[in-house]
Amino acid sequence: MSVRMNKPEVRCESSCWDRWTRLLLGLIALTALAVGFIHGARAHSLDDIDAMLKSDERYFQPIDKPVPDFTLRGADGRIVRPADLAGKVVVLHFIYTSCPDVCPLHAEKIAEVQKMVNSTPMKDRVVFISITTDPRKDTPDVLRAYGPTHGLDPVNWLFLTTAPDQPEDATRKLAEAFGHKFTLTDDGYQMHGIVTHVIDREGHWRANFHGLNFQPVNLVTFVNALTNNVERPHHEQDEGWLAKLKNLL
């Protein structure tokens, strides 16, 4: 008499794929931390980090300017100014939610970077900010829904718009202060470039990453340098996570 053994079915449902995705992003983020550790060991200032990234990342532009001032409103009604972000590294970009092409792709690129950052101890030291250039259409409900739709985690992400007493073009003028334009067209869309801005913990604008083809690991490496205050002299540096990791080895 033969006995027929049924092979158990193996199914990988969405939760399985989510775990593998988190694992992959964690490994990529650890790679960024390792790269940052190597860079940090060789670098004595942010200028050294800039030079290293300029050789590795063609879309990287170092900046050394005060951040343009702004007073904007979050989807929850909270007013946000640069001073409110002191102590955090800020990754900031401009989009509008009815954009049919590059804005969703830009948001998803930022979400990819955010997932990498949030899988490391940098999570509590970095904030991601999207600013709408179409405040008339982008109501608080629209703002709240946009981020999760494109993979952004509200735990350290803000979508900002104008305050009630500001003109409708206030955020488009702010984009100009950051060096690029959102120009209204006759069909209601906006012509614009794609730039991701990085601001340090002291409120200085430190870099642009242009377009959508930059390597997320390079942006994470730069953010990691800023969270660890790499530009300070070594005897004044806070003991960052990379230094702690080094002490464990």
Dihedral of CA atoms 176, 198, 213, 72 in degrees, nearest 10, equals -50
Taking residues 76-88, what's their average pLDDT? 96
Counting residues of the chain whose pLDDT is more than 90, the rounded percentage is 67
Helices (H), 43-169: 46-56, 102-118, 140-149
The reported pLDDT for the residue numbered 93 is: 98
Mean pLDDT for the stretch of residues 39-51: 63
The DSSP output letter for 174 is H
- Mean pLDDT score, 218-246: 65
Q: Who has greater pLDDT, 4 or 186?
A: 186
3-state secondary structure of 35: helix
Q: Is the pTM value of this prediction over 0.75?
A: yes
The residue type at 127: V
231: confidence class by pLDDT, cuts 50, 70, 90: low
Picking from 85, 128, 100, the residue whose alpha carbon sits closest to that of residue 216 is 128
pLDDT digits (tens, 9 = 90+) for 130-172: 999 999 999 999 999 999 999 999 999 999 999 989 999 999 9
Q: What is the pLDDT of residue 31?
A: 53
**Residue with token string 């997320």:** 216
More confident residue, 209 or 11: 209
Between 38 and 58, residue with greater pLDDT: 58
Q: Is the dihedral of CA 16, 117, 57, 175 positive or negative?
A: positive
CB 46 within 8 A of CB 206: yes
Q: What is the mean pLDDT of the chain?
A: 82
Structural tokens at position 248:
């464990």
The two three-digit tokens of residue 155, written as one number: 């735990």
Q: Which segments of the chain does DSSP mark as H helices, in order?
A: 14-42, 46-56, 102-118, 140-149, 170-177, 216-227, 241-248
Query: Do residues 104 and 225 touch, judged by C-beta distance below 8 A?
Result: no
CA atoms within 13 A on the CB side of 154: 11
The per-residue pLDDT for range 205-229, each reduced to its tens digit, is: 999 999 999 999 999 999 999 998 7
Give the pLDDT of residue 47.
78
Chain segment 169-218, per-residue pLDDT in tens: 999 999 999 999 999 998 889 999 999 999 999 999 999 999 999 999 99
Query: Element (H or E) spanning 80, and its range?
Result: strand 79-80
Of the two residues 26 and 91, the one the predictor is more confident about is 91
